[in-house]
Structure 1
Amino acid sequence: MPELPEIETVKRIIGPQIRGLAIESISVRRPEVIAHPAADEFCRRLRGQTFDATTRRGKFLVIRLESGDKVIIHLRMTGCLLVTPADYPEEKHTHIVFRMDNGKALRFSDTRRFGRLWLLQKEEADTYSGMERLGKEPLSPDFTAEYLASKLGKRKKAVKECLMEQGAIAGIGNIYSDEILFAAGIYPARPANSLTGEEWERLAEVIPERLSFFIRKNEISPEEYLETKGRDYRNTPFLQVYGHEGEPCPTCKTSLCRMVIGGRSSTYCPSCQQGDKEFNESRKTKEQTV
């Protein structure tokens, strides 16, 4: 699933291309990808409106219209947005096409059809998308160690799982939680309530630094993005641990290990992330005293 850096990339590519353009017509091939309102009403309300600014909230894209209405989009696993010339070959799983007054089209495709779109009117409360339940943006100035400790510091769950809780931190998923914990030197299975104040401070620094790093590495031109059909802009060459089980750690050359935490794969370095040894010894001590 695309995470915060990928959605930020899509925002920066798509937003400038559609800003100020009016929607002349809309074709909906798969009505079920429109979660609110019904597809007919969605098209009726949007036809003739003009795109304004495009923003991001966690893993959600928000396309604002000059009227004050907004389209919220979640790409989920395989969703993709492309701005194309009218005669550009259409992707097989294209579900919605917005035709604009400059002759180009904004197309939404999704192989697995998990992605969703919501249209909210200017004063309409968002009780549909779940975006209002998101936690703090990790790139915001008030993303602090105090915030992290207050939201997660009493949790018994593994810190890896806690970093992926969208109600606490918006936008981090399986890939970047691995990268963040490696950079912070924290064992992914550590209970969040075992982290020290110093470790929360370290996470508060590492989280925005790593996400910003991957946003920079994701930079791609609109032409390249279209040429690769929005698929080849991700950070695979720059990932240090995710997906590298059995390979040498980029820091100490120890073989990277993999475990499953909360049903999700996690790759880590047993040497650089030595919390595993400390945590296990602490757990054994507690068990012996019971």
Structure 2
Amino acid sequence: MPELPEVEVVRRYLDEHLPGSEIESVDVKLPRLLKNASPEAFGAALKGRVFAAVRRKGKYLVLGLDGPKSLLVHLRMTGRLVWKADPGARLPPYTRIVFQLSKGVLAYGDVRTLGELWLIPSQGLSGVPGFDALGPDALDPKLTAEGFARALRAGRSSVKAFLLNQRNLAGVGNIYADEALFLAGIRPERPCAAVSAQEAERLFKTVRQVFETSIESGGTTFRDFLDGSGREGGNAANLYVYGREGKPCRVCGTAIELTHIAGRGTRFCPKCQS
């Protein structure tokens, strides 16, 4: 957490409110969150800059600015970006970085402090290896079911591990990999080579289906995720298998099972998935 849907929910909110706002000051309360700049250099590079569009690729946010540098953010497990219209508003708990703006205030909060922020060139490659090496975004309109199926069937891992590899498909994490595999009727431990072209294309569609459902519901909050306004998401009620081990399948009633694949807890229905 958060995965593509949660980051997209945040992106949409920030893109509605940030563009046109000038950064008046930056208060870095936890310097180790900054991965390629000191607090002083970070603040100097951002002060006076005006926000442009907010973009996303995979689980990364790019907060575009009008100067040579922009801001790249990876929320990791518990990161939050919350914008408030009132610059004097009470900030969320565990706020680590505060951006005072000409229009409101932007707060970066992080309970477990695992998030990462970089200054990157506004044009061209970012210089951040994990970001520059991302595969196609899972919601990229240029990505087709046929192209996804070809890549998956050429994979040498399990289908679950393929989905989690951000070089294959950017944005899928543990929650939505389990959910998409359930809706596609595919066991997570199946080798990629054992997935038919038809099954792979169906999986491509269910990945997008679970993403779109979650985005419409404001993302999935179990404990820490908040959207750009500081509200929890409502998608947890839509989950079929994730977090439901030992409970009856919503489709067939069989108990949901838990295993471990690619180092991650993996939930599946032994009857609905083959």
Q: Normalization by structure 1: what TM-score?
A: 0.86
Contact 2:65 2:122 in 1 (8 A): no
1:64-87 superposed Cα distances (whole Å, 9 cap, x missing partner)? 012353211000001011112233
1:89-137 superposed Cα distances (whole Å, 9 cap, x missing partner)? 33442211110113x2101011111101111233463122521111111
Q: Secondary structure at the match of 2:175?
A: helix
User: How far apart are the structure 2 equivalents of 1:163 and 1:88?
Assistant: 40
Inter-CA distance 139–252: structure 2 relative to 1 (3 Å threshold): same
Q: Which residue of 1 aligns with 2:32?
A: 32
Q: Which residue of 1 aligns with 2:202?
A: 202
Q: Which residue of 2 aligns with 1:216?
A: 216
Q: Which residue of 2 aligns with 1:284?
A: none
Q: Which residue of 1 aligns with 2:163?
A: 163
| Aligned 1:59-70 pairs, distance under 5 A | 59-67=59-67, 69-70=69-70
Q: Which has the higher helix share?
A: 1
User: How far apart are the structure 1 equivalents of 2:142 and 2:135?
Assistant: 12
Contact 1:36 1:128 in 2 (8 A): no
User: How far apart are the structure 2 equivalents of 1:265 and 1:36?
Assistant: 33
Contact 1:118 1:129 in 2 (8 A): no
Q: Which residue of 2 aligns with 1:116?
A: 116
Q: Which residue of 2 aligns with 1:99?
A: 100
Verify: 1:89 aligned to 2:93, yes or no. Answer: no
Q: Which residue of 1 aligns with 2:12?
A: 12
User: How far apart are the structure 2 equivalents of 1:11 and 1:165?
Assistant: 22
User: How far apart are the structure 1 equivalents of 2:164 and 2:66?
Assistant: 34
Gaps of 5+ in 1: 276-290
Q: Secondary structure at the match of 1:36?
A: coil
**Greater radius of gyration (CA):** 1
Q: Secondary structure at the match of 1:266?
A: strand
User: How far apart are the structure 2 equivalents of 1:129 and 1:32?
Assistant: 18
Q: Secondary structure at the match of 1:186?
A: coil
Q: Which residue of 2 aligns with 1:258?
A: 258
User: How far apart are the structure 1 equivalents of 2:195 and 2:99?
Assistant: 48
Q: Secondary structure at the match of 1:151?
A: helix
Q: Which residue of 2 aligns with 1:271?
A: 271
Alpha-carbon distance, 1:213 to partner: 1.6
Letter in 1 for 2:88: D
User: How far apart are the structure 2 equivalents of 1:211 and 1:124?
Assistant: 28
Q: Which residue of 1 aligns with 2:243?
A: 243
Q: How many residues align?
A: 268
Gaps of 5+ in 2: 221-225
Q: Secondary structure at the match of 2:8?
A: helix
Q: Which residue of 2 aligns with 1:288?
A: none
Percent identity over paired residues: 36
User: How far apart are the structure 2 equivalents of 1:183 and 1:270?
Assistant: 13
Greater mean deviation of Cα atoms: 244-253 or 121-130:
121-130
User: How far apart are the structure 2 equivalents of 1:8 and 1:122?
Assistant: 20
Letter in 2 for 1:188: P
Alpha-carbon distance, 1:177 to partner: 0.3
Q: Secondary structure at the match of 2:122?
A: coil
Alpha-carbon distance, 1:176 to partner: 0.1
Q: Secondary structure at the match of 1:35?
A: coil
Inter-CA distance 66–259: structure 2 relative to 1 (3 Å threshold): same
User: How far apart are the structure 2 equivalents of 1:143 and 1:44?
Assistant: 39
Inter-CA distance 240–10: structure 2 relative to 1 (3 Å threshold): same
Contact 2:149 2:204 in 1 (8 A): no
User: How far apart are the structure 1 equivalents of 2:88 and 2:33?
Assistant: 24
Contact 2:81 2:228 in 1 (8 A): no
User: How far apart are the structure 1 equivalents of 2:161 and 2:260?
Assistant: 11
User: How far apart are the structure 2 equivalents of 1:172 and 1:184?
Assistant: 15
